[in-house]
Amino acid sequence: MKNVLIIGAKGQLGRDCLDVFKDVSGLNGVDLPEADLSDPGVCRDVLDRLQPEIIVNCAAYTAVDACETDKSCWKANAELPGNLADWAAENGAFLAHISTDYIFSGDKPLFEVLLETEPPAPVSEYGRSKLAGEQSVMERCANSAILRTAWLYGGSGKNFLKTMLRLTLQNPGKELKVVSDQFGSPTWSYTLARQIRAVAERRAGGIFHASSEEYCSWYDLACRFLGKLGVEHHFVPCTSEEFPSPTKRPTNSILENAHLKALGMNLFKGWEDELSDFVEKHGESVMAEVQGK
Ligand SMILES: NC(=O)c1ccc[n+]([C@@H]2O[C@H](COP(=O)([O-])OP(=O)(O)OC[C@H]3O[C@@H](n4cnc5c(N)ncnc54)[C@H](OP(=O)(O)O)[C@@H]3O)[C@@H](O)[C@H]2O)c1
């Protein structure tokens, strides 16, 4: 494998992809503000110059609540993947595009899993824009894989785990409510990056669910994370209704990695084991970051 291009290389997943592909000759990363690949002309210029054989698209407008009012999310989430798909199809490159559990309504009965064949039915602007991105990739580039992930966390960037740690350290002894009626599979971005590489090396095409095994609630995840760090906490379970948000969030986000398993390629362990590995590798640096050290 050579000439790999990571789009959204400064993001949470993009940084782990740069790490996972670091031995590949001709590895490049692009991101805002240097290059806005939602602009078709910019996208073509960048790809013509770098001539990637593998394109990994981690770029997205990921501020879910902001998407409800900022329609520019469609540029990054829907138009950008289409630009990449056009170039990849014309130039024989393989495109690995990252998508989300939010393309589903989340209304499937608990605790039935969501297979790749489940009909999409997004209930948020973020989900609709990401689904449009998937459709552009599928329609315009046959040589492509879509990896849908969920509840992503990693060593760099913002995520739920860092938020819960920050709130706990800033409010010692205080009870903090955490939603306990939404269920999903927390996924470490580093394992997802390894999974993307495995798919790209094999040029395995189609839609793949790509999240940790087993599932939990946000409340379970927060308790387990701070427990593993040895930080005292006072989380209290609450319902989604008690935690108003401008965006309807899926109740059931439990993705099943059926396609990866059918190909013997699933790299994900149970979410608790993944979380332990994450804490072992990044626990100290995350503590230092959150404490402002
Ligand atoms: N985070 C989650 O919980 C989650 C869950 C399920 C699926 N996903 C999906 O996983 C993927 C990676 O997510 P992440 O958490 O790593 O996201 P992230 O940290 O927000 O990174 C996305 C990166 O893309 C960049 N970007 C946005 N628009 C761009 C454009 N027009 N041209 C070039 N770069 C652009 C962003 O730059 P700026 O920061 O400057 O905007 C950012 O560096 C995304 O496809 C996301 O939809 C994420």
- Residue numbers of the domain that contains 145: 2-157+185-215+252-269
Q: What gap in Å lies between CA 44 and CA 33, rounded to an integer?
A: 16
Q: At what angle do helices 271-290 and 160-170 cross, to 10 degrees?
A: 50
Residue 232 lies in a domain: no
Query: Could you give the number of structural domains in the chain?
Result: 1
Q: What gap in Å lies between CA 249 and CA 288, rounded to an integer?
A: 31
**CB under 8 Å to 243, separation ≥6 — which residues?**
177, 179
Q: What gap in Å lies between CA 274 and CA 280, rounded to an integer?
A: 10
Residue 165 lies in a domain: no
Residue 230 lies in a domain: no
- For 236-277, the DSSP string reads EEE-GGGS--SS---SEE-B--HHHHHTT-----BHHHHHHH
Choice from 18, 30, 31, 255 to test ligand 1 binding pocket (greatest atom count within 8 A of CB): 31
| Residue 32 beta carbon below 6 angstroms from any ligand 1 atom | yes
> How many angstroms separate the alpha carbon of residue 32 from the centre of ligand 1?
10
Paired with 255 in beta bridges are 114
Residue 177 lies in a domain: no
CB 14 within 8 A of CB 29: yes
Overall average pLDDT of the 23-33 stretch: 98
Q: Which two tokens stand for residue 232?
A: 């005292």
Residue 151 lies in a domain: yes
CB 164 within 8 A of CB 224: no
Q: Phi, psi at residue 279, to the nearest 5°? A: -65, -40
- The yes-or-no verdict on residue 293 having pLDDT over 90 is no
| Residue 18 beta carbon below 6 angstroms from any ligand 1 atom | no
Choice from 44, 56, 58, 99 to test ligand 1 binding pocket (greatest atom count within 8 A of CB): 58
Active-site residues, by number, are 126
Q: At what angle do helices 125-140 and 80-91 cross, to 10 degrees?
A: 10
Predicted local confidence at residue 244, as pLDDT = 80
| Residue 127 beta carbon below 6 angstroms from any ligand 1 atom | no
Residue 169 lies in a domain: no
Q: What gap in Å lies between CA 212 and CA 185, rounded to an integer?
A: 5
| Residue 4 beta carbon below 6 angstroms from any ligand 1 atom | no
Q: What is the CATH number of the domain that holds 62?
A: 3.40.50.720
CB 194 within 8 A of CB 147: no
> pLDDT tens digit string along 79-127?
999 999 999 999 999 999 999 999 999 999 999 999 999 999 999 999 9
Residue 204 lies in a domain: yes
Residue 281 lies in a domain: no
> pLDDT tens digit string along 42-59?
999 999 999 999 999 999
Q: At what angle do helices 80-91 and 40-50 cross, to 10 degrees?
A: 40
> pLDDT tens digit string along 232-257?
999 999 999 998 888 989 999 999 99
